[in-house]
Amino acid sequence: MPTAVSLFTGCGGSDAGLIAAGFDVLMANDVIPYARDTYLANHPETDYRLGDVQKIETFPQADLLVGCYPCQGFSQGGARQADRRINYLYLDFVRALRQIQPRAFIVENVSGMRSSTYKHLLNDQIEQFRASGEHGYNVKWSLLSADEYGVPQERKRILIVGIRSDIGLEYEFPSPTHGPRGTQPFRTIENALAGLPEWPLGEFCEDPFHWYYLSRNRRRDWHETSKTIVSHMRHMPLHPISPSLRRIHTDSWVFETAERARRFSYREAARLQGFSDNFVFPDTPNSSLAMRYRVVGNAVPPPLFQAVAGNLPNIWD
C-alpha cells in the first residue's frame, strides 16, 4: 500500500479520499483542535500533529505528499489580500516536498488563485514545485468542478499534481464521471440527504437571516446540486424545505411565504461535501456547533480527492 503525508489536513476530507484510493496516511497536520479530534475519531492510526506546520522540523518518508493550505487570501469569501502571510504557506509545503522527495504530490486550493491578483502566487508555486528536490517534478494543474466527480455540490477547485521527474511520467487529470461530460447524472440534494430528519434539532444554525445573508439567493431545490458549502455557519445555504426566495431589488431577497426556513445542518453539509454516512463528528470540549460547521466547510470533498489521487499512475513499486 503506498504511503502519504498530509499537511493542512483539517478534519480529513482529503485523507478520506486518499484512503478510499488505497493510500496509507502516515502523518497529518493542522492547527484546529476539533479538526484533529474529528480526524482521529475516524482514522486513529494516523500520526496527527496538531500545531503550526512551521514548527514541524522533520517529516516521515512517504510515496505521496498532499497539501490543502488555507485559502482565505484567495477565496471570494475571504479577505482577498494578496500580501497576507497565509498566502505563502505553500512555502512550508515546498520545504516538506524537498525533504521527503515523494514520488508524487497533490495540492488543492480555491479557484480564486487564477485571478490576476494572485496569478503570480500560482505561478510561483508551480515553479517552486518543479525545482524541488534532487530531480524536480513534472507539474500539471487544472480547475475541477466537484459535482462532476459525484459530489452533490457546486464547488470549483484548483488541483496541482506533480510526479517526480526521474520517474519519467506526466499526470493526466481524471475525466468527469457525472453530468453532461460524464456517464452518470449529477448527484442532487435529494440524493445526498435521503433518510435524514427534516428538523434535526441542535444540528443547524438558528441565527436570524440578516441583511447580508439575504443579499443573494442561497436556496436550491431538491432536484439540484447544492450551492457551495462554506465554513461559516451563518452563511450556510438554505435547506430546500425552506420557502423560495424572491429578488425585490439589487442585493435584496425575501422569502415568498412565511413558512419556517433553515440552513443546512452540519451533518447535511458533510453529506453534501461527499463524506460517508459513517463519518464521525465526536463530542469533545472543542465541538461547538460553529466548529462542526467550520471543519466541514473547510474540508476537501473526499470523492474529488479520491478521483485525483486514484488517477495517479502506478509508480509505487
In a domain, 257, yes or no: no
Q: Domain of 145? A: 3-181+300-310
Q: Give dist(CA 102, CA 36) in Å, integer.
A: 24
Q: Tell how strand 104-110 and strand 156-164 pair up.
A: antiparallel
Residue 4 parent element (H or E) = strand 3-7
In degrees and rounded to multiples of 5, residue 201 shows phi and psi of -60, 135
Q: Give dist(CA 272, CA 98) in Å, integer.
A: 35
Annotation says 71 is catalytic: yes
Could you read off the pLDDT tens digit of each residue along the chain, which spans 317 residues?
999 999 999 999 999 999 999 999 999 999 999 999 999 999 999 999 999 999 999 999 999 999 988 755 544 444 444 445 556 788 999 999 999 999 999 999 888 777 777 788 888 899 999 999 899 999 999 999 999 999 999 999 999 999 999 999 999 999 999 999 999 999 999 999 999 999 999 999 999 999 999 999 999 999 999 999 999 999 999 999 999 999 999 999 999 999 999 999 999 999 999 999 999 999 999 999 999 999 999 999 999 999 999 999 999 98
In a domain, 211, yes or no: no
Q: Is the pTM of this model over 0.75?
A: yes
> Which member of 11, 68, 71, 205 is catalytic?
71
Among 292, 296, 251, which residue's Cα sits nearest to residue 270? 296
- Give residues with Cβ within 8 angstroms of 95, minimum separation 6: none
The number of domains in the chain is 1
Full DSSP string of 83-124: T-GGGGTHHHHHHHHHHH--SEEEEEEEGGGGSTTTHHHHHH
In a domain, 166, yes or no: yes
In a domain, 187, yes or no: no
In a domain, 32, yes or no: yes
Q: Give dist(CA 300, CA 28) in Å, integer.
A: 14
| Pair 307, 301: CB distance under 8 Å | no
Where residue 93 sits, what CATH number does that domain have?
3.40.50.150
CB burial readout 36-56, b (16+ within 10 A) else e: bbbbbbbbeebebbeeebeee
